[in-house]
Amino acid sequence: MSSATPAAAAPDTVLVVDFGAQYAQLIARRVREARVYSEIVPSTMPVEEMLAKNPAAIILSGGPSSVYEEGAPTVDRSLFEAGVPVFGMCYGFQLMAEALGGRVDNTGAREYGRTALTVCRPSSTLFEGTPAEQSVWMSHGDACSAAPEGFAVTASTDVVPVAAFENDERKLYGVQYHPEVMHSTHGQQVLEHFLYRGAGLSPTWTTGNVIEEQVEAIREQVGTRRAICGLSGGVDSAVAAALVQKAIGSQLTCVYVDHGLMRKGETEQVEKDFVAATGVQLKVVDAEERFLTALKGVSDPEEKRKIIGREFIRVFEQAQAEIIAEAGESGEPVEFLVQGTLYPDVVESGGGTGTANIKSHHNVGGLPEDLEFQLIEPLRKLFKDEVRMVGQELGLPEEIVQRQPFPGPGLGIRIVGEVTKERLDLLRDADAIAREELTAAGLDREIWQCPVVLLADVRSVGVQGDGRTYGHPIVLRPVSSEDAMTADWSRLPYDVLAKISTRITNEVRDVNRVVLDVTSKPPGTIEWE
């Protein structure tokens, strides 16, 4: 975007200024949950560019820096003098305090995690209708010890005298904690008070708006040309394909790559259910031998992801050539590749402001540098539950919309060790048993997903049929999550776990042990690789 002519934001847009926060996108999501449209902008964007977007309100995110640290992100005081309602959170709160003449000190009084907050002005704009004592989520070292002139202090903690303040006349508000996380018990209510009461916004934005905006943007981008979509059978690619098809219709061809890394029944579901639901043009490519050959001898998870990403693109390019040849000389070129990339994919691949590369997703960090397609990623700024809502709005069937997440690289990253056809078949059988029993127990909606992992390079001694065995362990990884940014292991009933374990060790060859992963995220990721 040119700094000379910044694009105007949509009406009633809230800008979330990202100061390198872990939760910047979560803030934007919480705003959307309040049915107000939001966009994220980097803290490096000049204030005049932010204001040129004509935002209805601005939220300053948290961040890992100290306001007094050399080179720390900052914000020009003019932002607070523009008449736009502003809400500072954590680091953003401290920036507002410091810029407007308040005092921020490194007192050594750090607060991390759950903290008791005392509301001293219960009728204030932010806190009216919330308890005088409430639990909030803190993560800070510095603290605001004096509010700027003209600001009313509205809350405090045992160690921080100014944990929240507001100036209704100037429409400036701030809290030291993170209202966007679930651990802040009344955080969403406080955020909505800022949006509705402080900024005077109305809750009118819906997933229907997402569809309308993306359809318009896709039509403008593609024109009369054509696109292909990498369809995996998962909810992300299915919703992306349905959204793009709504925009350009028969100009889209979906390509399903059967790379041999799918679960049981995956190919049949795509060929039957998705095509029946959407009427999309589908091209199925049998590429199992190609992928297994490329993965031969490879155990490193990062290398696996990059290989799978590279081979996906090569197959799409082959499909592109075939589609062009089928259309003949009069056909429009195939220039676009549709992907179901979500925001958590971008963050974990190092694509967020100030974020580390945790692992390369095949559709982000795993793409080859010589990519010839222009990408269409209509879901790139959405979380999984938002994608499901878009899918429902588009009329996709429940069995597709509510399908548990499954990674694009498939079972290739659920085998710890080299990927071979024999190991894939073994894992497919174990995974199918786990899915069958979870469905039979009615637990599909209670867990986010349950990766089943084969520890291919590990063996353990067991006893089966009165004889010694030396087989592989299978790991069950049931997790509960709201957005895949954080997760906790699901407390499944023991009888369900016992049935899954018994069936796998009885029915799947070379497996003599089933173990349960009880690690949260962080420190672990949802997938093992």
CA dist., res. 264 & res. 285, Å (int): 17
As a whole number of angstroms, the distance between CA 412 and CA 299 comes to 10
Among residues 90, 144, 254, 450, the one annotated as catalytic is 90
Q: Is 359 helix (H, G, I), strand (E, B) or coil?
A: coil
Tokens of residue 17, six digits: 């200024």
446 phi/psi in degrees, rounded to 5: -85, -20
Provide the β-strand partners of residue 8.
none
Is residue 186 among the annotated active site residues?
A: no
Q: Which residues contact 301 (CB under 8 A, 6 or more apart)?
A: 359, 413, 529
172 Rama class: left (phi>0) / alpha (psi -120 to 50) / beta: beta
Pairing of the two strands 164-167 and 172-175 = antiparallel
Among the listed residues 140, 178, 186, 361, the single catalytic one is 178
Spell out the SS3 assignment of 114-175: EEEEEECCCCCCCCCCCCCEEEEEEEECCEEEECCCCCEEEEECCCCCCCEEEECCCCEEEE
Beta carbons of 91 and 65 less than 8 angstroms apart: yes
In the residue annotation, 90 being an active-site residue is answered as yes
444-477 burial code (b ≥16 CB/10 A, e <16) = eeebbbbbbbbbbeeeeeeeeeeeebebbbbbbb
DSSP letter at 4 equals S
Q: Helix, strand, or coil here: 452?
A: strand
* Cβ partners under 8 Å of residue 189, min gap 6: 129, 130
CB 332 within 8 A of CB 225: yes
Rg of the chain taking only CA atoms, in angstroms: 25
Measured in degrees and rounded to the nearest 5, phi and psi for residue 114 equal -60, 130
CA distance 414 to 526: 11
Active site residue 120: no
Choice among 98, 111, 166, 180 that is catalytic:
180
**Contacts for 348 with CB less than 8 Å, ≥ 6 apart:** 357, 358, 359, 361, 525
Catalytic residue set: 90, 178, 180
